[in-house]
Amino acid sequence: MPDLFSTHGNQPIDGKYKILERLGSGGMGDVYKVEHVYLGAIRVIKAIRAQISGSADANERFLREARLATRVQHPNVAMIHDFAALPDGTHYMVWEYIEGENLAQRIKSRGTLPPREAVRVTIQVLNGLEAIHRAGVIHRDISPENIMITPDGNVKIIDLGVAKIEDSDVAMTRTGMFVGKLRYASPEQLGFMREGERIDGRTDLYSVGMVLYEMLTGRPPFEGKSPHDYIRLHSEETSLQLVDVSRSLHSDPALQTILLRALARDRTKRFQTAAEFRAALEQTERVDTLSRSTTLREAAPTLVTELPPPPRSRAKWLVPAILAVFVIAVIALVVMTMRPREEKTEVAAVTTQPPSASTPAQTQVNVSPPTTTTVEPVVTQTHTVAPTPAKTTTHTETVAPVPVPVPSPVPESRPSPLPPLPADAGRGDLAAYTEGGDGDVNGPLFDKLKSQVHGVKTVAVDAGAMQSDLMKALQHEGISVADRADVTIKFDGVLEHLGRGRKKRAAHASILKNGRVVFRYELPEETYRVGDTPVEAFVNAVGGAFKD
């Protein structure tokens, strides 16, 4: 049977849905973006694929998906608007159109998600699952491909194609084939249940745990090369590699405990409801908020011992110094005023004696300077005394200026371990992507960067002491480095080893395109033990934006 494109062309489906483009193919049918010609609203039509439209089982599942979807009304679950059959027998359903990308695309472009963002996405998924389970429906196909994320960060679960009613015995198709995705399926979904047991909502919670793990690490905890491998890995009690997110989430131990519980092979040891799972994640957010403030106080003793004493303010020594200079100057002025008068009297007494043959016509009295050490320059004062017209007495005195105390240099504060970037390296009106920050802020910033540098293969780099490390990290991502390029990365980072396995890191960077800043990055200063270097954290955050 031909698809909708070939059968309708430019003619609206059912006279009201105009096909705009084909979006792809799902497990059951082809998916199209359409416009309601009367309402002007964008919708998505999912039509059963021509190759399986003759299968009674496929048609029954297709109709069941539509019926189950009408039972769920929630902001975190895609909404169905219509279901109908065309004259040629093709069944189709009309869903809301969700602008954005699915989680699989986001993980592929970014590698990993910051833990706080991953937790918030998971909480929204669990909100939607709670509504699905409350309606008596089990999704059975929770995976990154079936989780949509809008530009404003809203999450919606899509595709109930393999969902089932909770009290139903149907676990596979009538042909005995498994439905869902093996990578994210729970052990009981793969058939590991006791006789008489049925699949329930806990299978979806296991899948959510798999998705959360993949958001944090960039890969699922189990990867097999064949269906048999996946069945073995999901059923055996193999140990999970713990997720290291301590550098970004202060409640790391609690998050690891949540993951281990969500991925327990025995479903009685998992979270029993979506609400219970969500409450545990919300607690990590509250703990994280408190930890971020208390961590600074806990780390303060270490930081204080490493910093020099705070510099004295100029105001503390400037006023006393000015007063001291003023007092000394007054004293010196008084001394200089009084001493010449005494010396003048003494000279006059000498010159009024009767002259003798041995007395020269001109008598000169030299007053020796005080025996104190003087500070250059030396000040010389000369006084001329004339008691009679015939005689002139000259008095020459060398006076040492009073030493003025010179204030000691103002101690400079310890320079910041991370100097600011040059003035042309950033703009105050451009928000910064913060490592481990709010996904609602970081996500749009990353998307803007991607629109500017998508497909760029060569950049210029200015990274100071970390130039070599940054060049190697970029080249590892397939990005070459040249002396000149349209895109320039200005990076400044610090990595300090504190001893006993502790390290301190911080960084900030700007990405410029044709001299204009298009992206700013901040890695707040933090003390940690295990995690990426500043360069690695930066490249992990932005590297995906350059990829095709």
Q: Give tens-digit pLDDT for 60-86.
A: 777 888 888 888 889 999 999 988 888
pLDDT in the model for residue 291 = 58
* Pair 253, 150: CB distance under 8 Å: no
Cis peptide bond prior to 377, omega within 30° of 0 = yes
State mean pLDDT over 205-218. Answer: 92
Whether residue 190 is found in the same domain as residue 130: yes
237 vs 239: CA distance, rounded Å: 6
pLDDT in the model for residue 503 = 85
State mean pLDDT over 238-251. Answer: 48
pLDDT in the model for residue 508 = 93
Whether residue 113 is found in the same domain as residue 87: no
Asked if residue 274 is part of any domain, the answer here is yes
User: Residue 465: is its pLDDT beyond 50?
Assistant: yes
The CATH number assigned to the domain holding 69 equals 3.30.200.20
Asked if residue 346 is part of any domain, the answer here is no
Lowest mean pLDDT among 214-218, 407-411, 444-448: 407-411
Whether residue 72 is found in the same domain as residue 125: no
Whether residue 48 is found in the same domain as residue 148: no
How is residue 41 written in tokens?
Answer: 């609203």
* Residue ending a domain, choose from 78, 96, 114: 96
More confident residue, 362 or 133: 133
Whether residue 90 is found in the same domain as residue 199: no
Lowest mean pLDDT among 176-190, 237-251, 257-271: 237-251
Whether residue 253 is found in the same domain as residue 292: yes
pLDDT in the model for residue 384 = 45
250 vs 116: CA distance, rounded Å: 10
More confident residue, 43 or 318: 43
pLDDT bracket for residue 9 (50, 70, 90): low
Whether residue 222 is found in the same domain as residue 81: no
Helices and strands counted in the chain (H then E): 12, 19
Q: Where in the sequence numbering do the catalytic residues fall? A: 141
Whether residue 134 is found in the same domain as residue 54: no
Backbone angles phi, psi at 319, to 5 degrees: -65, -50
Whether residue 50 is found in the same domain as residue 126: no
pLDDT in the model for residue 370 = 46
pLDDT in the model for residue 11 = 81
Boundaries of domain holding 466? 423-546
66-69: Cβ within 8 A, 24+ apart? 66/93, 68/135, 68/137, 68/160, 68/163, 68/164, 68/165, 69/93, 69/95, 69/160
* Residue ending a domain, choose from 259, 280, 298: 298
pLDDT in the model for residue 338 = 63
529 vs 520: CA distance, rounded Å: 26
Asked if residue 394 is part of any domain, the answer here is no
* Residue ending a domain, choose from 298, 316, 336: 298
Average pLDDT over the chain reads 75
Q: Give me the helices (H) in 50-201, please.
A: 56-69, 103-110, 115-134
Whether residue 75 is found in the same domain as residue 191: no
User: Residue 342: is its pLDDT beyond 50?
Assistant: no
Highest mean pLDDT among 182-196, 287-301, 403-417, 510-524: 510-524
Asked if residue 250 is part of any domain, the answer here is yes
* Pair 533, 507: CB distance under 8 Å: no
160 vs 168: CA distance, rounded Å: 15
- Helix 252-262 / helix 202-217 crossing angle, nearest 10 deg: 140
pLDDT in the model for residue 112 = 87
CA 273-80-199 angle, to 5 degrees, is: 30
Domain count, the chain: 3
Whether residue 439 is found in the same domain as residue 495: yes
More confident residue, 146 or 242: 146
More confident residue, 155 or 326: 155
pLDDT in the model for residue 330 = 75
227 vs 143: CA distance, rounded Å: 17
Whether residue 144 is found in the same domain as residue 46: no
User: Residue 499: is its pLDDT beyond 70?
Assistant: yes
pLDDT tens-digit readout, 476-490: 888 999 999 999 999
pLDDT bracket for residue 301 (50, 70, 90): very low
The CATH number assigned to the domain holding 474 equals 3.30.160
The CATH number assigned to the domain holding 120 equals 1.10.510.10
User: Residue 355: is its pLDDT beyond 50?
Assistant: no
User: Residue 281: is its pLDDT beyond 80?
Assistant: yes
More confident residue, 430 or 507: 507
